[in-house]
């Protein structure tokens, strides 16, 4: 025979389980709806997602500007005016940067692409000038020939690799030239220029109301998630704003110094090297490798090569010991091994988009784990 106390316990346990399953179903419904919406309307949502990121990054500055403008206008009008001024300033800055850098960047990129076959030929000729290379070739070629005779179907002739490089480089050059001539790409870029500022303005203007509306739709039982959202916001803001500042500064640093030392295609290589730092470690090595190859082809083991190497050494020290600690800091807190893992995993799962989203996803995951640990210690 059950007592009233036991019945109340059973009823309470049943209520708690029902509430837990209700919360789980509620979150699953939201996540499923967002995933389905993204799969169906991914191409259409892309500029809106980009505008949301811009609005999120500009929101603190917009809030400060709104406080200043609220002295001469109503709060609603001050917010709209602040959003308009920031969107206009962002658009003007983007147009100024593109007009100042895009023509030279495209010209030098196309010139470098067209010069790749000559660079490869020059490298091969310079390599043959070294006596130690010729001695290694004399030692290794007989061994290679003997191994190739064992299974000629699996080990092609060395001369075939040289014959394959020219058509591949030629196709790459043609693809880049064709890409710049595509009318559809121009139309897509123009639509982004029209849609992204429009969406950014309205998201900035109505940011506070939108966040309040989202908060009202979260059940009270899940209010502890606001602490998690604040932690994720702090982590991602430190990462994205800091990383954007680091990439822009390093691109300007490399482009300026490589142009000043007279490196051919130095502006394009510098901009590319700075932006490639979005891929930690791999991007730096790739950008430095391209620059050093061009410097070596230009003058061999001479002053241009040493100056190019010095530029990248100073740039790496500047980024590692000054810019990243100052602008990103320890709030992200990802170990270098985890950074490499997330970048490789993102590239494997979603290609280039996965590489771009790898670090934000890793930082978000770390913030969630830290929040769970803290919630367990202080329930």
Q: Roughly what angle, to the nearest 10 degrees, separates helices 75-128 and 266-276?
A: 120
Q: Which of 55, 57, 82, 80 is nearest to 68 (CA)?
A: 82
pLDDT tens digits in sequence order for the chain, 379 residues long: 456 666 666 666 666 566 666 766 766 777 777 777 766 766 677 788 788 888 888 888 999 999 999 888 888 899 999 999 999 999 898 888 888 888 888 888 888 888 888 887 777 777 666 554 555 555 555 655 554 454 444 444 444 444 544 554 555 455 555 544 444 555 566 667 778 888 999 999 998 888 887 777 666 656 667 777 778 887 887 788 888 888 899 999 999 999 999 888 889 999 989 988 877 777 788 889 889 888 888 776 778 888 999 999 999 889 888 887 777 766 566 666 777 777 777 777 766 667 777 778 888 888 877 777 777 776 5
Quote the CA–CA distance of 15 and 21 in Å, as a whole number. Answer: 10
Pair 249, 234: CB distance under 8 Å: no
3 three-state secondary structure: coil
Quote the CA–CA distance of 274 and 290 in Å, as a whole number. Answer: 13
Alpha-carbon separation of residue 60 from 15, 63, 83 (angstroms): 42, 5, 11
The one-character DSSP state at 219 is -
Distance, CA of 180 to chain centre: 23
**Per-domain residue ranges of the chain:** 45-217, 222-379
Pair 169, 117: CB distance under 8 Å: yes
Q: What is the pLDDT of residue 254?
A: 93
Q: Which secondary structure element, helix H or strand E, spans residue 181, and what is its range?
A: none
Quote the CA–CA distance of 205 and 325 in Å, as a whole number. Answer: 32
In 129-157, which residue ranges form alpha helices assigned H by DSSP? 131-150
Q: Is the dihedral of CA 310, 316, 322, 327 positive or negative?
A: positive
Tokens of 247: 């990439």
How much of the chain is in helix, strand and coil states, percent to nearest 5?
A: 85, 0, 15
276 half-sphere exposure, CB direction, 13 A CA radius: 20
Quote the CA–CA distance of 61 and 57 in Å, as a whole number. Answer: 8
Pair 80, 205: CB distance under 8 Å: yes
Pair 34, 185: CB distance under 8 Å: no
User: pTM of this prediction?
Assistant: 0.67
Residue whose token pair is 């005779």: 149
Alpha-carbon separation of residue 25 from 19, 66, 220, 360, 375 (angstroms): 10, 39, 15, 26, 22
């Amino acid at each position: 025979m059950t007592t009233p106390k036991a019945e109340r316990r059973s009823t309470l346990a049943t209520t708690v389980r029902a509430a837990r399953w209700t919360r789980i179903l509620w979150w699953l419904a939201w996540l499923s709806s967002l995933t389905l919406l993204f799969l169906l309307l991914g191409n259409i949502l892309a500029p809106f997602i980009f505008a949301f990121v811009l609005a999120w990054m500009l929101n603190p500055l917009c809030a400060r500007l709104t406080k200043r403008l609220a002295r001469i206008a109503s709060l609603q009008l001050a917010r709209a005016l602040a959003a308009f001024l920031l969107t206009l300033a962002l658009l003007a800055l983007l147009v100024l940067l593109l007009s100042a850098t895009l023509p030279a960047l495209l010209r030098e990129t196309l010139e470098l692409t067209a010069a790749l076959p000559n660079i490869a030929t020059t490298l091969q000729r310079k390599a043959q000038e070294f006596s130690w290379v010729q001695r290694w070739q004399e030692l290794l070629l007989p061994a290679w020939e003997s191994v190739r005779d064992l299974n000629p179907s699996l080990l092609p002739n060395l001369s075939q690799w040289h014959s394959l490089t020219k058509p591949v480089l030629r196709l790459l050059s043609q693809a880049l030239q064709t890409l710049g001539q595509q009318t559809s790409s121009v139309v897509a870029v123009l639509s982004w220029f029209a849609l992204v500022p429009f969406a950014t303005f309205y998201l900035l203007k109505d940011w506070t109301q939108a966040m309040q509306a989202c908060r009202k739709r979260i059940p009270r039982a899940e209010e502890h998630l606001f602490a998690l959202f604040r932690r994720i916001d702090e982590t991602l803001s430190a990462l994205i704003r800091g990383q954007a500042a680091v990439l822009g500064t390093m691109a300007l640093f490399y482009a300026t110094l490589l142009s000043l030392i007279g490196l051919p295609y130095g502006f394009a290589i510098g901009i590319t090297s700075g932006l490639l730092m979005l891929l930690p470690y791999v991007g730096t090595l790739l950008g430095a490798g391209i620059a050093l190859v061009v410097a070596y082809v230009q003058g061999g083991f001479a002053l241009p090569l040493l100056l190019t190497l010095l530029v990248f050494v100073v740039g790496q020290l500047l980024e590692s010991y000054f810019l990243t600690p100052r602008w990103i800091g320890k709030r992200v807190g990802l170990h270098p091994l985890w950074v490499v893992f997330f970048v490789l995993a993102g590239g494997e799962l979603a290609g280039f988009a996965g590489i771009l989203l790898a670090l934000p996803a890793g930082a978000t995951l770390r913030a969630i784990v830290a929040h769970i640990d803290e919630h367990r210690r202080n329930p």
